[in-house]
Structure 1
Amino acid sequence: MLLTLALLSAIAPLATDMYLPGLPALGEDLGTSASTVQLTLTTFMAGLGIGQLIIGPLSDGWGRRRLLIGGTIVCAISGVACALAPSAEVLIGARLLQGLSGGAGIVLARAVIADRARGDNAAKLFSIMMIIGGVAPVLAPLMGGALLGPIGWRGIFWVLAAASVVMLVGVLTVVPETLPVERRHGGGLSALARNMRYVTGNRRYVGYALTFIFGFGALFSYISASPFVVQDVLGLTPGQFSIVFGVNSIGIVAGSIVNTRLIGRFHARSLLRFGVSMLLTAGTLLLLEVTVGGAATPVVLPLLFLVTTSLGFIMGNATALGQSEVTAAAGTGSALMGAGQFGLAALISPLVGGSAVVMSIGIVVCAVAAMTALLTLGSPAKPAATGADVVAAPVQSGTPM
């Protein structure tokens, strides 16, 4: 079940990174400009954010499973539409639909775990999901590059459609409905408004959500600028950049593994604070290196690795702690986290450009914002009898959750 949820969450890096090597060929085949081709990425990211905002709150009233099944079916169909697209305009529309439906997998995977677990137990599960899902950004560009020659960019979208079918089979076979009828809310705009007020009115949730969002913002500052920084500033080749990107992606997985092993010995909030402190320290040292230190490759690359590794301590813990604060509307809480995550990513991407200095500033600003949100809004844990650290028993005994 956890593997299926992790694969559903991995749709974003898979559908983003796998087809990137084929963008030049895509533009040539469809007879369109590079800027128009870039819209296929922009609309996908926008769809991911909007889809989560729509589907997350709906799931608090309708339940998780049928929306998850429907979203996965539409994601598979949109993948086929992308593969068959006769023009750039059709491809852009299909990518928007792929993002909207792919958002269902991301937002509902988080909501399912929030339905089943609390506190440290939830933090461990979210970290395990990050370990599994963290492999996707490592493999996706390598798979895309390997598949581009034999099957072309259209073939890559056929592969994504097939992956959605595999995810659908997983949902149908191992993911039950996790939101009981008695915990669901009525539909309509009034119920949506109540859920939004409930979630945004929880001070602790807002603090953890902002920590999560700004942590991802720091990561996306690196992702957006690193191809230019590593190749143009540090002078590495495209092949060497692929290795650097893969190693740094492994850093996120390594951080998540260590975090999972430490949960239980340390409170999830303490590990979250450590991760944000690590991000802020590494980001500050990176900024100093690229401004006054000469941007030496042996210094910049280890600092970038520390930046990405810190996210292994931030993303899972912040998600678990935030979701534990709003269990009565877990879908809405997950949706706001996801929409903020991809909304900030879309804002940051054009701002950081290819400058090592601007990239480092982006990392530091996001780290400072994450630390501020954690310290000012995310107050210390409640007593064990009532707080977010209480570990809830599984809804069904004997399940892996």
Structure 2
Amino acid sequence: MSPRQRLRLILVLGSLIAVGPLTIDMYLPALPAIVDDFATSSAAVQLTLTGTLVGLALGQLLIGPLSDAVGRRTPLIAGTALHVVASVGCALAPSIAVLGALRVVQGLGAAAAAVIAMAVVRDLFSGSSFARLLSRLLLVMGAAPVLAPTIGSELLRWTQWRGVFVALVVFGVLLMLVAIFGLRETLPPERRQRGGVVPTVRLYGTLLRDRPFVGLVLVAALAMAAIFAYVGGSSFVLQGQYGLDEQRFGFAFGAGAIGLIAATQANVRLLRRYTPQRILTAALFVGSAAALVLLGVAATGLGGLPALLASLWVVLAATGLAMPNAPAVALSRHGEAAGTASALLGAVQFGIGAVAAPLVGVLGTGAVAMAVVIAGGLVAALVVLLVVVRPTRLSTVEVEPDAVAVATH
């Protein structure tokens, strides 16, 4: 496989993975404006974020088994088309209730890209090889949370919040072209699962009986909950409590994402010396400690905004180390049903994230509320890893076929 083929694979799959973060993050600078436009509460507007996460969770549960039965391309193209239609509806939404409902549909469409991209990677890799490629994909994916709030804030210079969803329509159309012309089928007919409700339920039952797999899914989901607590609360904390304008918020938010990106790329080098299990354990220890520091800074105000941003940066960097490794170990255990396993992983991640985002609003939308949810998620993830998964007892499967070239034209 040539470097050009590898780069093309990363760009194609990275663009698919990025649709979720772009859908979630691009409108974050506009949340206060949406509150004013619909004369509603911040908690109600945060529920539109929750709606997207719910859609992402439910969509993955449906699309994962479907992709194991019929292949990867057809569900991907259909889901992307749904995302485009829902984005058009969001741009025209007459009320906060309609916007929230359409955000659920938008999440359903985005779920196709998320689960198919992960399943394609698992079709071709496992173990540390999976984690290395996923780390590269997270470099592309990481550009989404870096750029999305900044793009959104710049769009707000020239348009209202509805223009953000028009931009998502354009991105969705481009994504459809990528799916149609840039990705070949990676699941041959002889490896597909038989469709139907009973086999699907039986397969989910098999996955749920695998204790380490379930534990790793919870670890990934709780770490993701910490990220979504930051995503859901950061605009209100940084703009409302600390007085940043929309543009400075975009840059501050992007700085945290840069920490996450840097960590995912450091992970590639670390995997040459350490197993994914060891890196995951160390990352959660560091992330939990940094989250507790964040909580102390938020509660006391010690160090002000610089201390808050610094501790957040460490939290995000530690999570960036954890994010590729938990799915890599989990999905290596079930390569025969990569789509379904990836769907369950993604559904639990976004399902718990859907709870974490509005929980910040319920607790008060301030820095303390955000820090409580972040710290709770990471500490809980560490406990689950040590008590349920027991990472020292796991083995890592290594597969790195040169057949990856078949994934791209």
Equivalent position SS for 2:185: coil
Partners of 1:86 and 1:238 in 2: CA distance? 24
Instruction: Provide the C-alpha distance between the structure 1 equivalents of 2:101 and 2:372, rounded to a whole number of angstroms.
Output: 34
Aligned residue among 172, 175, 179 for 1:167: 175
What SS class does the counterpart of residue 135 from structure 1 fall into?
helix
Q: Distance in 1 between matches of 2:369 and 2:41?
A: 24
Does structure 1 conserve the Cα–Cα contact (< 8 Å) formed by 2:278 and 2:391?
Answer: no
**TM alignment of 1:1-400, pairs within 5 A:** 1-22=9-30, 33=40, 39-85=47-93, 91-231=99-239, 234=242, 239-291=247-299, 294=302, 296-352=304-360, 353-380=364-391, 387-395=395-403
> Alpha-carbon deviation of 1:66?
1.1
Contact 1:117 1:394 in 2 (8 A): no
Deviations along 1:8-31, one digit per CA (max 9) or x if unpaired, are: 2222222233234445666777x6
Is contact 1:4–1:167 with CA below 8 Å preserved after alignment?
Answer: no
- In structure 1, how many angstroms separate the alpha carbons of the residues matched to 2:104 and 2:229? 23
Map Cα deviations across residues 217-254 of structure 1 (whole Å, 9 max, x no partner): 12222233333444555565555433321111111111
CA contact (8 A) 2:25 2:231 kept: no
SS in 1 for 2:274: coil
1:70 counterpart SS class: helix
Q: Which residue type is aligned with residue 380 of structure 2?
A: A
- How far does the alpha carbon of each residue in 1:115-140 deviate from its partner, in whole angstroms, 9 at most, with x for none? 11011110011111111111111211
Judging changes above 3 Å, is the alpha-carbon distance between structure 1 residues 267 and 44 closer, same or farther for their aligned structure 2 residues? same
Deviation, 1:213, is 0.7
Contact kept in structure 2, 1:283 and 1:307, CA below 8 Å: yes
User: Offset of 1:256 from its aligned partner?
Assistant: 0.7
- Closer/same/farther in 2, CA of residues 300 and 39 from structure 1, 3 Å limit: closer
Q: CA deviation at 1:381?
A: 6.4
Between the aligned partners of 2:402 and 2:61, the Cα distance in structure 1 is 27
Report the Cα distance in structure 2 between the residues aligned to 1:297 and 1:382, rounded to whole angstroms.
42
Q: Which amino acid aligns with 1:303?
A: S
Aligned to 2:3: none
Bigger drift between 231-240 and 187-196 goes to 231-240
Deviates more, 1:201-210 or 1:189-198: 201-210
| 1:192 Cα deviation from its structure 2 partner | 0.9
Q: What SS does the corresponding residue of 1:10 show, helix, strand or coil?
A: helix
Alpha-carbon distance in structure 2 between the residues aligned to 1:162 and 1:374: 40
Cα offset for 1:301? 2.2
Q: TM-score, normalised by structure 1?
A: 0.89
Letter of the 1:367 partner, please give it.
L
Of stretches 289-298 and 46-55 in structure 1, the one that deviates more from structure 2 is: 289-298
Change (3 A) 1:266 1:232: same
- How far apart are the structure 1 equivalents of 2:155 and 2:299? 39
Q: Quick check: 325-334 or 18-27, which moved more?
A: 18-27
What's the CA shift for 1:40? 3.9
CA contact (8 A) 1:218 1:364 kept: yes
Once the two structures are superposed, what CA deviation does each residue of 1:71-112 show, in whole Å capped at 9, x if it has no partner?
112222322333345665654443332211111111111111
Q: Distance in 1 between matches of 2:243 and 2:200?
A: 51
Change in Cα spacing, 1:364 to 1:165, as seen in structure 2 (3 Å) is same
Name the CA shift for 1:392/1:45 in 2 (closer, same or farther; >3 Å): same
- Structure 1, unpaired ranges of 5+: none
Q: For the Cα contact (< 8 Å) 2:59–2:112, is it kept in 1?
A: yes
Paired with 1:153 and 1:288, the residues of 2 have a C-alpha distance of: 34
- Once the two structures are TM-superposed, the CA of residue 392 in structure 1 deviates from its matched residue by 3.5
Q: What is the SS of the residue equivalent to 1:377?
A: helix
- Give per-residue Cα distances to partners, 1:113-169, cap 9 Å, x unaligned: 111101111001111111111111121121122223434444332321121121111
Gap runs ≥5 in structure 2: 1-8
C-alpha separation in 1, matches of 2:21 and 2:248? 20
User: In structure 1, what residue type is equivalent to 2:367?
Assistant: A
Aligned-residue RMSD, C-alpha: 2.7
Closer, same or farther: CA 232–151 of 1 in aligned 2, 3 Å:
closer
| Change in 2 beyond 3 A, CA 1:290/1:147 | closer
Larger deviation: 391-400 or 338-347? 391-400
Percent identity of equivalent pairs = 39
How many residues are aligned here?
A: 397
